[in-house]
């Protein structure tokens, strides 16, 4: 007998599909919840930000330009980093390494010391409009501090032009709606699969299933497939709402977005399976799924709170959570038209999480079901 039989896995998938079609609660949860989230999370949410990464392209390279950068740093709001050699001004924003790029034009120091306005420009990532709005409000304080440092009480010495990229109007819906796909899938997918194995243990059907030649990997794959299709129906509804109801632009590749979503939904579904296999009880599985599915999607994915503003421990913790990585993919493809080269890190992280979670689900099946 081979290690994996596709026919047996498809049989498990067909059985699970029939159960889904006979269960109006499952279908209603998968279809109704997206509409609820679109309504409640389609409004603007503003937060204070700190320790925001700003890339500096210093074309002047004088003492005055360096002191300007120090003024940004001393404000406590920004973390300044130099532009990498050979990199374009837009690249840090495209890859989400920075939230803004400060460009100091040649002659900035000479003009400032002679009493003229020094030329500088701050490019801000408008894809996250709540952060962009906060950055804009911080600039007046930084400009005032720089004015006192270089020209006494005069604050008009600096002419700082600001442009918002990817979301020029700072439309809040352009930020929240793409993130809803992450929240919806992270919660619904975990909930759906968290109940499937536990339900079969409680009803006694798992013993009948184990009496067949089916193997743990075939059970895992067979249960993932129908819920993966149902999850794609969910994100399709969110996509239609984003494009038709809220007018959110989609500037990237649909194929790349689908690939990223596939990696994310497999991780979320496998997480639910792990919970279901370990608990074997629907009530406990539901509680754990709500905690591990809802909270990371809302609080630790970057949907509501900026990850760089979190304590160091949580900045490290979020890297093992699938919603954190798909949030980058979703917003990057929707608003920035990011390509695979720009998103290779989140794609690689999701692929690794897929392997770990599916492998863990199979391992627990082996531990629990095979002597």
Q: DSSP states of 270-325 as a string? A: HHHHHHHHHH--HHHHHHHHHHHHHHHHHHSSSSSS-GGGS-HHHHHHGGG-HHHH
Same domain, yes or no: 318 and 189: yes
CA distance 233 to 225: 13
Which of 132, 165, 198 finishes a domain? 165
Condensed to tens digits (0 to 9), the pLDDT of residues 87-119 reads: 888 888 888 888 889 999 898 888 877 777 777
CA distance 61 to 59: 6
Q: How confident is the model at residue 170 (pLDDT cuts 50, 70, 90)?
A: low
Determine the pLDDT at residue 348.
97
Determine the pLDDT at residue 205.
74
CA distance 96 to 100: 9
Determine the pLDDT at residue 371.
44
Determine the pLDDT at residue 41.
62
Same domain, yes or no: 225 and 243: yes
Q: How confident is the model at residue 355 (pLDDT cuts 50, 70, 90)?
A: very high
Same domain, yes or no: 213 and 289: yes
Among the ranges 39-48, 161-170, 355-364, which has the highest mean pLDDT value? 355-364
The average pLDDT across 147-157 equals: 58
CA distance 35 to 39: 6
Which of 115, 138, 165 finishes a domain? 165
Kindly provide the residue ranges of all beta strands, DSSP E only, lying in 29-125, ordered along the sequence: 52-58, 78-82, 100-104, 118-125
Determine the pLDDT at residue 254.
94
Same domain, yes or no: 197 and 326: yes
Which of 103, 136, 165 finishes a domain? 165
Residue 300, in any domain of the structure: yes
Same domain, yes or no: 29 and 161: no
pLDDT of 133 over the 60 cut: yes
Same domain, yes or no: 161 and 180: no
Give strand pairing partners of 52. 78
Q: How confident is the model at residue 1 (pLDDT cuts 50, 70, 90)?
A: very low
Determine the pLDDT at residue 7.
85
Same domain, yes or no: 190 and 279: yes
pLDDT of 155 over the 60 cut: no
Q: What angle do CA 321, 325, 331 make, to 5 degrees?
A: 140
The CATH number that applies at residue 141 is 3.40.1710.10
Q: What angle do CA 273, 276, 278 make, to 5 degrees?
A: 110
44 compared with 348, residue with greater pLDDT = 348
Contact 219, 206 (CB under 8 A): no
Among the ranges 193-207, 247-261, 304-318, which has the highest mean pLDDT value? 247-261
The average pLDDT across 353-359 equals: 93
pLDDT of 303 over the 60 cut: yes
Q: How confident is the model at residue 340 (pLDDT cuts 50, 70, 90)?
A: very high
How many domains are there within the chain? 2
Domain interval for residue 241:
6-40+172-369
Residue 47, in any domain of the structure: no
CA distance 38 to 35: 5
Half-sphere exposure of 226 (CA within 13 A, CB side): 21
Same domain, yes or no: 140 and 235: no
CA distance 332 to 342: 9
Same domain, yes or no: 80 and 32: no
Q: How confident is the model at residue 46 (pLDDT cuts 50, 70, 90)?
A: very low
CA distance 94 to 336: 7
Contact 84, 58 (CB under 8 A): no
Condensed to tens digits (0 to 9), the pLDDT of residues 243-286 reads: 888 888 999 999 999 999 999 999 999 998 899 888 888 888 88
pLDDT of 43 over the 60 cut: no
Helix (H, G, I), strand (E, B) or coil at 90: coil
The average pLDDT across 38-56 equals: 66
Same domain, yes or no: 236 and 159: no
The average pLDDT across 11-36 equals: 78
28 compared with 279, residue with greater pLDDT = 279
């Amino acid at each position: 007998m081979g290690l994996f039989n596709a026919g047996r896995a498809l049989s498990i998938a067909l059985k699970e599909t029939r159960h889904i079609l006979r269960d109006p609660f499952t279908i209603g949860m998968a279809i109704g919840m997206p509409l609820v989230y679109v309504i409640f999370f389609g409004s603007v949410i503003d937060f204070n930000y700190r320790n925001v990464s700003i890339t500096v392209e210093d074309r002047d390279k004088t003492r005055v330009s360096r002191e300007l950068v120090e003024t940004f740093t001393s404000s406590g709001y920004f973390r300044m980093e130099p532009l990498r050699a050979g990199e374009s001004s837009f690249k840090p924003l495209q890859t989400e390494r920075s939230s803004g790029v400060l460009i100091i034009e040649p002659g900035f120091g000479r003009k400032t010391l002679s009493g003229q306005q020094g030329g500088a420009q701050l490019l801000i990532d408008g894809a996250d409009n709540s952060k962009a709005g906060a950055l804009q409000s911080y600039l007046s304080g930084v400009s005032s501090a720089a004015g006192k440092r270089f020209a006494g009480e005069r604050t008009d010495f600096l002419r700082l032009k600001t442009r918002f990229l990817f979301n020029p109007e700072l439309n809040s819906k352009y930020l929240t709606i793409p993130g809803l796909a992450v929240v919806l899938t992270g919660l619904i997918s975990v909930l759906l699969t968290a109940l499937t194995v536990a339900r079969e243990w409680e009803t006694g059907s798992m013993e009948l299933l184990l009496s067949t030649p089916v193997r743990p990997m075939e059970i895992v794959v067979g249960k993932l497939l129908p819920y993966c299709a149902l999850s794609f129906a969910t994100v399709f509804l969110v996509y239609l709402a984003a494009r038709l109801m809220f007018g959110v632009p989609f500037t990237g590749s649909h194929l790349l977005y689908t690939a990223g979503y596939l990696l994310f939904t497999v991780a979320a579904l496998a997480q639910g399976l792990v919970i279901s296999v370990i608990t074997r009880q629907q009530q406990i599985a539901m509680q754990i799924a709500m905690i591990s599915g809802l909270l990371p999607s809302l609080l630790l994915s970057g949907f509501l709170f900026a990850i760089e503003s979190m304590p160091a421990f949580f900045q490290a913790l979020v890297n093992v959570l699938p919603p954190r990585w798909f949030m980058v993919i979703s917003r990057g493809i929707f608003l920035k038209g990011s390509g695979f080269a720009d998103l290779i890190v989140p794609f690689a992280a999701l692929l690794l999480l897929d392997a770990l979670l599916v492998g863990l689900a199979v391992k627990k099946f082996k531990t629990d079901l095979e002597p």
